[in-house]
Homo-oligomer: A and B are copies of this chain.
Amino acid sequence: MPRVMPDDPLNELPGYALRRAANAMMAELTARLVPLDLRISDASVLMLIAERTDMTSSDIGKVLDIQRANMVPLLNRLEAAGLIARKPIDRKSQAVVLTPEGRERLADTRAIVTCFEDDLMARIPDEHRPHFLPALRALVGQPVDP
Residues of chain A whose beta carbon lies under 8 Å from any beta carbon of chain B? 3, 5-6, 8-26, 28-29, 31-32, 40, 44, 47-48, 50-52, 54-55, 59, 62-65, 113, 116-117, 119-121, 123-125, 127-129, 131-140, 142-146
Contacts and interface: CB of A to CB of B under 8 A. Distances in A.
A131 B128 contact: yes
A25 B119 CA distance: 24
Contact of A18 (B25, B48, B65, B125): B25
A123 B20 CA distance: 20
Contacts of A113: 13, 15
Contacts of A9: 47-48, 50-51
Contacts of A47: 9-10
